[in-house]
Structure 1
């Protein structure tokens, strides 16, 4: 469980560092200071790109596009239930952005963790797995 939470946290951090409704994100920083610090902007973009490549490649290999859509549908249905029960209010655009970041980070966290879950449930390793 700790492994999944760690993978999910880093997925959430990657997404939130790229964009969030506050001023503390890469997109806002580049819009304000990117032209002044172009070398730093490019370096940070490349670091973020490496993170996205790692997460997206692992997610696509483990659960595929259909699995990604299914996880997003499950999260969407959960949000819908919470909204219908009056627990969640979707009036604020900031809340909606944080919910989207949460949903996408769950997809990436599950995608990165799925091979571990499958191995624990079935006892079978993926073909490209190396002994841990």
Structure 2
């Protein structure tokens, strides 16, 4: 259940920032920039804090190579689904949703990797004491 929750939060974060509907931060910020600049900046900073938390934890646990590998495996899985005719990529909004799912998987796995590693190896990851 822990991974699902971390992945779901990552997905909500990415989808709240941008998605193919009109209900996202990017579209709202563009429309309300002139009228509600302080609120647009505040919401952007709150989103930035969550991105920093997720990206820092992901980079510390699986690194850039691990992120690339998770993204490559996800892309290969989508390729297999497309090759077997289970997935069509004609609609651009569908492609955006699939990209959001793929990126949220990278962040969710990155945030959960320390827990998985501890269960598999019995060793805990420790942050640097100086941080």
Tell me if both proteins adopt one fold, taking TM over 0.5 as the criterion.
yes
d(CA) in 2 for partners of 1:100 and 1:50?
Answer: 22
1:90 alignment partner, SS class: coil
Name the counterpart of 2:32. 33
d(CA) in 1 for partners of 2:38 and 2:27?
Answer: 16
1:127 offset after TM fit, Å?
2.1
- Give runs of ≥4 in structure 1 deviating > 3 Å: none
d(CA) in 1 for partners of 2:55 and 2:12?
Answer: 15
Give 1:18-57 correspondences, 5 Å limit: 18-57=17-56
d(CA) in 2 for partners of 1:97 and 1:105?
Answer: 12
Name the counterpart of 2:97. 98
Give 1:77-88 correspondences, 5 Å limit: 77-88=76-87
TM-score normalised over the length of structure 2: 0.96
TM-score normalised over the length of structure 1: 0.95
Name the counterpart of 2:115. 116
Greater shift, 119-128 or 45-54, is seen at 119-128
Which consecutive unaligned segments of at least 5 residues does structure 1 have? none
RMSD of aligned residue pairs (Cα, Å): 0.9
Question: Would you say how many aligned residue pairs link Structure 1 and Structure 2?
Answer: 128
